Amino acid sequence: MPRPLDPRLLDSCVEGVAATHQRLLEVVDSLTAEQFEAPSSLPGWSRSTLLGHLTMNALSHVHLMECASRGEVGDQYPGGTDARQRGIDAASQWGPAQHVKELRSAIYALEGAWARATFEMWNHTGRSASGTIVAMHELPFLRWRECLVHLVDLNISYTYEEWPDLYVRRELERQKMAWAASHPMGLTQLPADAMKLNEKLRLAWLLQRIDVEGLPKGPGI
């Protein structure tokens, strides 16, 4: 069941992801052709593949918002996971100039969709790529997560230490619930050694962006 709409939280997430979008565009604008094709820190994914994914992800959110505007429960990726992968594969073949153009276009299309959203649209629901039912007002946070985590995955200059405090607090709540849901009774609390880590380091571990000696892997994104 989606959480109820919190207008202040929604505004804060939209503000945060808009700033992160600009940071992402700055990074992409600075890449050379060779850097586009270099590996990201995600196994098997080049930076080009990762940027194609971020473009397709933005467009998938636009699609959900458009469905909501018609009162429909849309699928994030019509055609399912195969269609999603085909879109990422096709986008990964773009040259640097097209990557920059398509990513910027998708970002502003998404921010425009948010600007046009009504109260009713924000409270409408859609179906995420995993099949989960999500409210439209949850999308800005999910997009924020996607951009912040994959900015780290680009392995350029951005690190988890730059994640905004509001995002970290909200994500830690979600990740602690994910940890509890994936562990049996009596083991639902985070390990004591994990609680000794600072919040950003703890979150990077929970999202499987770093390994910490003595700790198992976290739930991941």
Domain contains 114: yes
Q: Are residues 11 and 116 in the same domain?
A: yes
Closest to 61 (Cα-Cα) out of 12, 9, 13: 13
Q: Are residues 143 and 165 in the same domain?
A: no
Look at residue 162 in the predicted model and tell me its pLDDT. Answer: 96
Phi then psi for 4, rounded to 5 degrees?
Answer: -70, 155
Q: What is the pLDDT along the chain (221 residues), one digit of tens a residue?
A: 677 889 999 999 999 999 999 999 999 999 999 999 999 999 989 999 999 999 999 999 999 999 999 999 999 998 888 888 888 888 888 999 999 999 999 999 999 999 999 999 999 999 998 889 999 999 999 999 999 999 999 998 899 999 999 999 999 988 888 887 776 765 678 888 889 999 999 999 999 999 988 888 887 77
Q: Are residues 220 and 147 in the same domain?
A: no
Phi then psi for 168, rounded to 5 degrees?
Answer: -60, -45
Task: Report the C-alpha gap between 209 and 95 in whole angstroms.
Answer: 28
User: pTM of the predicted model, to two decimals?
Assistant: 0.92
Domain end among 141, 157, 173: 157
Q: Are residues 49 and 95 in the same domain?
A: yes
Domain contains 120: yes
Mention every residue, 6+ apart, whose C-beta is less than 8 A from residue 159. Answer: 152
Look at residue 32 in the predicted model and tell me its pLDDT. Answer: 92
Cross-strand pairs, 75? 127
Structural domains in the chain (count): 2
A 10 A CB-CB count for 10 gives 19
Q: Are residues 146 and 164 in the same domain?
A: no
Q: Are residues 64 and 148 in the same domain?
A: yes
Domain that holds residue 120: 7-157
Domain contains 104: yes
Task: Report the C-alpha gap between 25 and 45 in whole angstroms.
Answer: 19
Q: Are residues 150 and 44 in the same domain?
A: yes
Q: Are residues 138 and 78 in the same domain?
A: yes
Look at residue 187 in the predicted model and tell me its pLDDT. Answer: 63
Q: Are residues 50 and 150 in the same domain?
A: yes
Domain CATH code at residue 23: 1.20.120.450
Q: Are residues 73 and 148 in the same domain?
A: yes
Strands (E), the chain: 125-127, 133-135
Look at residue 165 in the predicted model and tell me its pLDDT. Answer: 95
Q: Are residues 115 and 79 in the same domain?
A: yes
Look at residue 1 in the predicted model and tell me its pLDDT. Answer: 62
Look at residue 92 in the predicted model and tell me its pLDDT. Answer: 82
Q: Are residues 146 and 171 in the same domain?
A: no
